[in-house]
Amino acid sequence: MTRLLVECTHVFKNPKVNSGIQRVVRNVINQLPESAGGAECIPVVMLKGKLYRVLKLGSLNTPFFESLITFGERLERLAHRFWQLSQRLEKRCTSRFARRVLYVAYRLIALACFSVPLRLIDQVNQTQLPKRCTPLQHQPGDQLVLLDSSWHTDFFPFAEQLKREGVGIVSVIYDLIPVTHPQFYDTRLVQVFNEWFDWITKTADGYMAISATVRDQVREELQRRLGPAKASELWFDYFHLGSELDLSEAAAAVEPRLTRIFNTQEPVFLMVSTIEPRKNHDYLLDAFELAWAAGSKARLCIAGRIGWKCDALLARVHNHPQLNQRLFMFNDLSDTSLEHAYSNASSLVFPSWIEGFGLPLVEAMQRGLPAMGSDIPIFREIGGEFMAYFDLAEPQTLADLVARFESSGQFPATRDVADWHWIGWREASAQLAERTLRNVVDMPLVQVKQHANYP
């Protein structure tokens, strides 16, 4: 009997993190069906070379143990990076003696700096572990679905062992941007992602992307790396993400400074994303400066945690003459406050250079908030005729859309966002399970609908 083992190790270890991939993992796991197509679906984590069934994905709300888990996770990541460094150095060594010296040095440093401290932390955490997960024995024919951001982890050898023992490996791919557009990331992240992707191309039996656009990119990249013949032995599919903000609490307070932005008749344009180069905030500021210079009264609200390579942008915002007048920035909004922003803004604006999906678009449009986005394939896949698009080479095209919407009150898209519909996280989780099984098991499955614009 095939079982789907849906992996969520990084979120299990870091339950308080709430950025894009972590939000996806948490919602898919929480909405995971008990079975799909006759196959049992089980959320799992891989810890210390062992497989566990997840009982509780979220934290136990015990500050000491949460701090200890966080420290242990950081130490594990450092240990993994140290191991990767030793592997790269070993490959460069030409003499057997040098490799032996390197191996001994690695073992001594790893023992003193990582193995012993991690063993002590693990012994303390073992007292809490049974409350959150329980050991699970794998079986030949199981399918391990690597849903979480596994480039952060060190379970590669264990996953390879599972494969040797008859477990299929399915990799969920969110995007290939560190491979295709490395200029948007720090060198270290690009290196880690590429090492992970090299590993996953040698290990996975199939690939589940989060959009048709990414699925096609993954297929093309595998054909390039492995050759058409080898790539044809693999399978490629996709599922779409849901839209609910699961951490939003009706009784929770909304950020007071945020509420004041919406207490006027002036339109508010909302941008939601991590502050990092790929999201193209500079273009956004350029476009709104053009609009303001032409007399626009629109307000621009930027919401998102601070990421990387953004010092110049942050300085531009903090020194902007319109800051806290027509330009506002929030770097730590709760889901409750974000829900308020989605519900009260006039339009979402999303000038990203490239995306794997663009979750804020779905979150906004599902709440009836129309969206303006860069004219890239993934946004066309998600928004179709319900979005308004602008040219990334010309900030004036966005400024014109803002002015047109502001003056007419008519959103400049072909179709009304009120007629646009999208799936929720329950349907997204079912898509992942059903489409995975469709590819790995020869059994009839109810065909899920391929496009989001359905009733």
Which CATH number is associated with domain 256-419?
Answer: 3.40.50.2000
Same topology, domains 3-58+132-242+427-440 and 256-419? Answer is yes
The three-class DSSP label of residue 54 is: strand
Reduced to 3 states (helix: H, G, I; strand: E, B; else coil), residue 52 is: strand
The number of residues in the chain equals: 455
Which of helix, strand or coil describes residue 149?
coil
What would you measure as the largest C-alpha separation in the chain, in angstroms?
Answer: 77
What is the reported pTM? 0.77
Domain ranges of the chain: 3-58+132-242+427-440, 256-419
> Quick one: DSSP state of residue 254?
P
Nearest CA-CA partner of 303 in 261, 242, 266, 365: 261
What pairing do the DSSP bridges indicate for beta strands 35-36 and 39-47?
A: antiparallel
* Under 8 Å between Cβ of 41 and 436: no
Q: 220, 236, 200, 185: which is closest to 354 by C-alpha?
A: 185
DSSP run (H or E) holding 374: strand 371-374
> Would you state the pLDDT for residue 121?
73
Q: What is the dihedral of CA 31, 387, 365, 334, to 10 degrees?
A: 90
Torsion, Cα of 273, 274, 279, 282 (10° steps): 100
* Strand stretches in 188-319, DSSP E: 206-209, 235-238, 268-272, 299-303
In sequence order, what are the residues at sequence separation of 6 or more whose Cβ sits closer than 8 angstroms to the Cβ of residue 271?
Answer: 279, 281, 284, 300, 301, 302, 303, 304, 348, 349, 350, 351
The confidence score (pLDDT) of residue 359 equals 86
Instruction: Return the CA Rg of the chain.
Output: 24
The pLDDT value given to residue 125: 66
Rounded Cα distance, 203 and 52, in Å: 21
pLDDT for the residue numbered 445:
39
Cα distances (Å, whole numbers) of residue 278 to 34, 281, 353, 430: 37, 8, 6, 30
Paired strand residues for 303: 272, 330
Contact 387, 269 (CB under 8 A): no
Quote the CA–CA distance of 58 and 15 in Å, as a whole number. Answer: 5
Q: Are 23 and 69 in contact (CB under 8 A)?
A: no
For tokens 């699970």, the residue is 136
Beta bridge partners of 133: 54
Helix intervals (H) in 232-310: 256-261, 281-293
Tokens standing for residue 106: 């690695």
d(CA 429, CA 32): 5
Pick the CATH number of 3-58+132-242+427-440 from 1.20.1250, 3.90.550, 2.40.230, 3.40.50: 3.40.50
Residue 207 corresponds to which tokens in the numbers above? 């690939």
Contact 384, 355 (CB under 8 A): no
So what's the pLDDT on residue 79?
A: 79
Q: Which helix (H) or strand (E) holds 37?
A: none
Beta-sheet strands, E only, within 49-184: 50-54, 133-135, 143-146, 168-173
Residues 6+ apart with CB under 8 A from 91: none
- The pLDDT assigned to 245 comes to 66
The per-residue pLDDT string of the chain (455 residues; one tens digit each, 9 = 90 and over) reads: 689 999 999 888 877 666 678 888 999 999 999 998 889 999 999 988 999 999 988 766 666 666 766 677 678 778 777 777 777 787 788 788 888 888 888 888 888 888 888 777 777 666 667 788 899 999 999 999 999 987 777 789 999 999 999 999 999 999 999 999 999 988 888 988 999 999 999 999 999 999 999 999 999 999 999 999 999 999 999 999 987 665 555 667 888 889 999 988 899 999 999 999 999 999 999 999 999 999 999 999 999 988 888 999 999 999 999 999 999 999 988 888 999 999 999 999 999 999 988 889 998 998 999 999 999 999 999 999 999 999 999 999 999 999 999 999 999 999 999 999 888 899 999 999 999 999 986 443 333 333 444 33
Q: How far apart are the first and last CA of the chain?
A: 34
Pairing of strands 39-47, 50-54: antiparallel
